[in-house]
Structure 1
Amino acid sequence: MEPEYITHNFQPIYDKESRILMLGTMPSPKSREVGFYYGHPRNRFWKVISDVCGEELPLTKEEKIAFALRNRIAVWDVLAGCEIKGADDGSIRNAKANDMKRILDHADIRAIFTTGTKAAQLYKRYCYPETGVEAIGLPSTSPANCRTTYEELYRAYSVIAGCLQD
């Protein structure tokens, strides 16, 4: 498979009440196909954060946006564009970062979390020098990360609950 240059075309989910920012790397081919974050049916992102927040799993794009905003969770990706082979984050080249100020200047973000090792590395390289805000790396919820059990994901993602308290 040849790498192709992909441009991120999803709007970030946030409002002025957002308290945490969850950052992936770049939308996967399946997410781009369905037009929304963590769109692969086996991606565990929406399940784990809804369980951590004690809510039912949101199913539609509209339910997911409402869930995120209600729980003061901003959702975006580190990259605005890159060369990538399919969904292989390890193949990313020629990365261009999103401007995190778009959210950080308009919301009271108290913590930034990345969903996966590559997102953490890219954030540290491209975004941290601009934001000065460390990101906490969490395990990937991707179906490719099958060695991390759901219980392990739940324990790791439970850290976000403490950041949502006033």
Structure 2
Amino acid sequence: MQLAGVRTAAAGDATTISRLLADIIRSSYAGILDEIPMRRLISAQCALPRIRAEIEIPGGAPGWLGWLVATDDEGAVVGMAAGGVPVPGEGEVYALAVTPGSRRTGVGTALLTAASERMRAYDAHEQRVKLPVEADPALPFYADQGFTALGPGRLARPL
């Protein structure tokens, strides 16, 4: 698999984002989250109407910078990210997920880099992320990207 690129999500990506994100959450948090917290996380993060609406926000909304998708050389979506600048100067990664078969190939880094560039364009000088659990499987990735703990489940890095 070779990464073809990162692009802004289009309306036709909403179903793919919703399904893949739910599958990634299930596989990443199996054995870490109980059934009810898992369902709540999937319901909050993967609702198709919400993702569709977020993709179709004309020109974005204050603080919202949209969804990005990473595709392989055949055009299949292998990762997604969403973020914004909800507070002046502070970017927030709302979602970043990579399919299990595409992990450790640079997809997550490419998505985070693209999201960071968008945040910098909106004058963010810091980037934050909130993880669903303290012992999150994504913690090593974020640590490798320069994030440090702000508190339980909250990480930040300078941009």
Output the TM-score relative to the length of structure 1: 0.36
Which structure has greater strand proportion?
2
Q: Which has the higher contact order (CA 8 A, sep 6+)?
A: 1
Which structure has greater helix proportion?
2
Output the TM-score relative to the length of structure 2: 0.37
